[in-house]
Amino acid sequence: MKRLIATIALAAGVLTVLLAGAVTSAHATPGTVTAAYIKPTNGITRANALRMAREYLSSEAFSLKGLIHQLKFEGFSKSDATYGASHSGANWMKQAVRMAKDYLRSEPFSRSGMIHQLEFEGFTHAQAVHGARGAGL
């Protein structure tokens, strides 16, 4: 029983420390903290953004910018979306090749047209050139 009480007290102390840093001075009023003004901690949301980024990459090709945009569309903050996409382990050059091949399965492209399309999708020029070349253009 004493161990349970000590664990609860420790958890309450940690939560207090986390919540104290989560309220901005602009929103805090002396003696009151409401849930509307508490910023969520980034640990869980960042882990979820990373997990979702990896799930997206397992089924389709994305550029870094495109994946960040998709994660933001899913409701993640810009910070969490950027973290998830950046830490997903993706090789963006390989993603560019994958996307170029996917495009070529459905419609014809010239080399310059593919490079333009890949850049539009958020790949850098170097990644787009590599993608077009890797797809045989």
Say if CB 64 and CB 122 are below 8 A apart. yes
Residue 43 pLDDT? 80
124-127-128-132 Cα dihedral, nearest 10 degrees = 180
104-105-108-114 Cα dihedral, nearest 10 degrees = -20
Checking if the pLDDT of 21 tops 90, the result is: no
**Residue spans per domain, the chain:** 20-28+40-90, 92-134
pLDDT digits (tens, 9 = 90+) for 37-57: 434 546 888 999 999 999 999
Q: Name the residue type at position 111.
A: R
Residue 42 pLDDT? 64
Residue 6 pLDDT? 38
pLDDT digits (tens, 9 = 90+) for 73-123: 999 999 999 999 999 999 999 999 999 999 999 999 999 999 999 999 999
